[in-house]
Amino acid sequence: MEWNKNVKSSIVIINFKNVIMIQKNILLILAILINFFSAQSQEKDAVSDYISIIKSNIYKDYKGMYRKGGGSLVYPFLTPGSNQYDNVLWDWDSWLSNIALRQILSDIGSQKDKQEAIKYEQGCVLNFLHYGDWDGYLPIVIWEDSKPRDIRPENIYNVNMHKPVLAQHAAFITQTNDGDAEWLREKFYHLQAFVNNYKSHHRNQATGLYYWQNDVAIGVDNDPATFFRPEKSSASIYLNCLMYKELEAMVYLAKQLNQSAIGAEFANDALALKAAIQKNCWDERDGFFYSVDLNLKPIDNHQDTTLGRSFIIHSGYPRDYDCLIQRIGVWSGFLALWAGIATPEQADRMVKEHYSNTKTFNAASGVRTLSKMEKMYSLRASANPSNWRGPVWGISNYMVFKGLEKYGYKKEASELAEKTIKMFGKDFQKNGALHEYYEPETGEPLLNKGFQNWNYLVLNMIAWLENKKTVAEF
């Protein structure tokens, strides 16, 4: 009996200790949960504060983008902002700035404000088309004191020209105005000539891909896939994704102008380009879209006497491929999501293996413009060229965000939007202005204080987060 009492006593003590241990564990778990939710709450509060800072700074001076025109700029237009770009009309800058402007007007603009903006928006497109002609050449930039048709390259087909975003810009403006494209009718011929120029003189016949003539003014200045590469060798994934959307925009504009037969031709071009991108730029090994190298020697049957006899070298089995994939991790590979080119299966790999990888693209402030694993990775500030070899840019964050959202990756899209909001909110808070590009981990600005431009697209990200009307590009 005594033994039983001792056993029972021991069991009671053990159970009591277990209860205490369980209580301690519960308290520890509760403490962890409280800290977690407290941190989450503080994080949300911080994002909310930064949203307020961003809105108050951007809303107050957005009309500073408006320019009445003058000199070579015969129509009113939008300027990207900052003294460096004052009274200058740039190609893809004006397009993207316009999308941000329309978000501002959606948020706070009166009907009068929205009507006032139209002449500046349309002027961006019409200023470029003013210098259009049958040859299809359009300048990349128009300076107030420049003469784009009088002073132009010796051979317009051997240089880069306006990026393929002009039809997209025109389509965006047309959609904004209930599909009314009459403002464009008289210049639609010049827009067709522009796109035809790309197809005839900037497209590789063997692959069906479009290429840069050189590395001048390509938008992503020092992208290693093009920068200091041989002329006509870079079939850039960035360029081809823009071109795909440009062709889709031409289909839309032709329809709005009751020229659907013409639109059908551009639709065929778009389908062919999409197939070419899938065939040549998708890398099944890495699960990513890359630029490709067209710099291959032609197959020619010439006699060679290197071996002491005359041979037609390599004639037994010459190359049967038309390009070499450039496995360089550049942010523009994600544009296949933005453009709607990737399949759902490809998108899943891109998000899981690349977007989410902190060793390559994923940084505290957003998307590195060049994978951190690349030997060319560099964050040093430069202005000629601007640095796209790693720093975070507002526009790359935005376009990757749009791709994530398009394919249903809402968690990742929200994460990227919040990173961008924090980066810009801190910049406004500390410096009273935004900059051109940023350090990926700390979010510290690296160059060009006062840069507005596509940075204002953060408002479109905010509207999406807040479940409000969100303005989007065509």
Query: Which residue, 338, 355, 372, sits at the end of a domain?
Result: 355
- Is position 82 within any domain? yes
- Is position 39 within any domain? no
| Residue 104 host element (H or E) | helix 91-108
Q: Are both 362 and 458 inside the same structural domain?
A: yes
Q: Are both 271 and 336 inside the same structural domain?
A: yes
**pLDDT per position in the chain (474 positions), as tens?**
555 666 566 555 656 666 676 777 776 666 565 655 544 556 677 999 999 999 999 999 899 899 999 999 999 999 876 555 678 999 999 999 999 999 999 999 999 999 999 999 999 999 999 999 999 999 999 999 988 888 888 899 999 999 999 999 999 999 999 999 999 999 999 999 999 999 999 999 999 999 999 999 999 999 999 999 999 999 999 999 999 999 999 999 999 999 999 999 999 999 999 999 999 999 999 999 999 999 999 988 888 888 888 888 888 888 999 999 999 999 999 999 999 999 999 999 999 999 999 999 999 999 999 999 999 999 999 999 999 999 999 999 999 999 999 999 999 999 999 999 999 999 999 999 999 999 999 999 999 999 998 999 999 999 999 999 999 999
**Which residues touch 370 (CB under 8 Å, ≥6 apart)?**
224, 328, 329, 330, 331, 376, 377, 388, 389, 390
Q: Are both 434 and 423 inside the same structural domain?
A: yes
Q: Are both 440 and 367 inside the same structural domain?
A: yes
Model pLDDT, residue 153: 86
Are the C-beta atoms of residues 208 and 272 closer than 8 Å to each other?
yes
Model pLDDT, residue 304: 85
Number of other CB atoms surrounding residue 392 within 10 Å: 25
Query: Which residue, 309, 327, 355, sits at the end of a domain?
Result: 355
Domain that holds residue 259: 213-296+319-355
pLDDT digits (tens, 9 = 90+) for 278-295: 999 999 999 999 999 999
- Is position 442 within any domain? yes
Place of tokens 């941190």: 39
- Is position 286 within any domain? yes
pLDDT digits (tens, 9 = 90+) for 374-410: 999 999 999 999 999 999 999 999 999 999 999 999 9
Q: Are both 334 and 384 inside the same structural domain?
A: no
| Residue 168 host element (H or E) | helix 166-176
- Is position 18 within any domain? no
Q: Are both 347 and 443 inside the same structural domain?
A: no
Model pLDDT, residue 306: 84
Q: Are both 234 and 336 inside the same structural domain?
A: yes
Produce one character per residue of 344-376: b if its CB has 16 or more CB atoms within 10 Å, e if not: eebbebbbeebbeeeebbbbebbbbbbbbebee
- Is position 145 within any domain? yes
Model pLDDT, residue 300: 86
Q: Are both 377 and 434 inside the same structural domain?
A: yes
Instruction: Supply the pTM of this predicted model.
Output: 0.90
Q: Are both 86 and 123 inside the same structural domain?
A: yes
- Is position 437 within any domain? yes
Q: Are both 89 and 196 inside the same structural domain?
A: yes
Domain count of the chain? 3
Model pLDDT, residue 30: 63
- Is position 37 within any domain? no
Q: Are both 453 and 436 inside the same structural domain?
A: yes
Q: Are both 217 and 349 inside the same structural domain?
A: yes
Single out the residue of 197, 191, 195 nearest to residue 257, CA to CA. 191
Produce one character per residue of 403-425: b if its CB has 16 or more CB atoms within 10 Å, e if not: bbbbbebeebbbbbbbbbbbbbb
User: How far apart are the two ends of the chain, measured CA to CA in Å?
Assistant: 88
